[in-house]
Structures are given as structure tokens and as C-alpha cells.
Amino acid sequence: MKRTDATIIYYTSNREDPGFEARVIENLLKVSGGLPIISVSQKPIDLGKNICVGDVGTSGFNMFRQVQIALEIAATPFVISAEADCLYPPDYFEFVPPNLDKCYRDSNLYVMPDARDYYFYKEEGATHAQIVGREFYLQTLNKLFEGAPKWSAEEKNFPKERTRKPDVFDKIYYWKSENPVFQIKTHKGMRYYTHSDRTPIPSIPYWGSGKTARAFYLHGVKRDEK
């Protein structure tokens, strides 16, 4: 049965390599089970219902402003995050949280932290792999943005600059998808930094080897294993 309680919110600064982001979007459409998508971008894109905000710059502040815009438009109880440098398995979109007033993040998360590295590294829970009650998320952001400018490319680590808190949510809850989400961190996205364990992992379930995954998604080519 098709899920009707969630909307995917996709937000991007459109600074990733166009081929890479096109393959991210292609994967998203392939695995997301026909869920409605609201995309908020800095250039027009053909993905679900698109809202283009213009070239407002990259920062944590602007990322959450784009999220806020998507939340105002979404009409489902839950929203599922998707970002322009992340690859998702089908089961990421299947988790149904027990509560509408909590943030749930996927703990089965990995990152490739720079353009030269084809290993996976275990990552902490992050905003690019979460599902949250729409009203709860919107109310949280509305409160954080009280008295704030519309856009701010300078506030890279929002909300820390305003609240001294490292996260928009006071408490995070976790679930674990059967197959992992992974991010290719090119440092061209909305936020520059990420946090991960430093133990290199050559392959992960569903995606296979890091060498092959990076070759295809980042460069659009398949390479034989050496």
C-alpha cells in the first residue's frame, strides 16, 4: 500500500556538480515509493513541487530557511529529509515514527568525507537522514527564526550562533534502517562540515564498495574492481 502520511522535503543550493546531483535525484525518485516531494532550491529544478529561492548562499541558516519553506507547503503529518549529496535506500522511506512531536534520525549512516577518498566512514545521526512531524518541525523553526533576517549566508552553524545549542532539536531519537544512507561530502553543499568516525570501511550493504559507488554517483562511470 502506498504511504500517504509523509512528504519528502529536498533542499539544495545547486552547487554540486550537475551530473552528481542528477544521479542523486534519479536515485531518490527510484527508491522513494512515489511519495510526494517538495524541493526548495537556489536554481529551478524539475523535482516534485519546486520552489526556487534564488542564489541566497550556503549556510546552516539558509538550509533551515529552505526547510521552513517546504514545511509551510507540505500537507502530510510527517516530512522526510533528503539532501543533494545523499544516497538513500528504499527502506529509509518506510519507517513510521510513533510520535509526531519528536525528531527521529536514522543511525545507519555513512559518509565519504572528501573528493579523494573512496572509503565509507560511520557517521553520527544527521539532518539529511531524519523524519519529523511537520507541525512540530515548523513550530521549532519558527521559534528559532523569531527576529531573524530572511536569509543569512554568514551563519554557517545555525542555530549555534543564536542559541548556543548545536542542534535545532533539544533531543533526538533514533531508528535504524535495514540498509544504510550514505553521503558524499564534496563541501559544495549547504553546510561544510560533518562528523564521523575515522575508521575506513571499504564497502557497506546495499551500496557495495566505496570505490564503485563513488565512481558511479560522483563521476557517472562504472569501474572494474582492482
Per-residue pLDDT tens digits for 18-66: 999 999 999 999 999 999 999 999 999 999 999 999 999 999 999 999 9
Query: Rounded distance, CA 151 to CA 23, Å?
Result: 29
Res. 226: pLDDT tops 50:
no
- What confidence tier does 223 reach under pLDDT thresholds 50, 70, 90? low
Bridge pairing between strands 103-106 and 121-122: unpaired
Per-residue pLDDT tens digits for 91-117: 999 999 999 999 999 999 999 977 678
193, burial (CB in 10 Å: exposed 0-12, middle 13-18, buried 19+):
exposed
Res. 194: pLDDT tops 70:
no
Res. 187: pLDDT tops 60:
yes
Per-residue pLDDT tens digits for 120-179: 999 988 999 999 999 999 999 999 999 999 999 999 989 988 898 989 999 999 999 999
Record: fold of 6-219: Spore Coat Polysaccharide Biosynthesis Protein SpsA; Chain A (3.90.550)
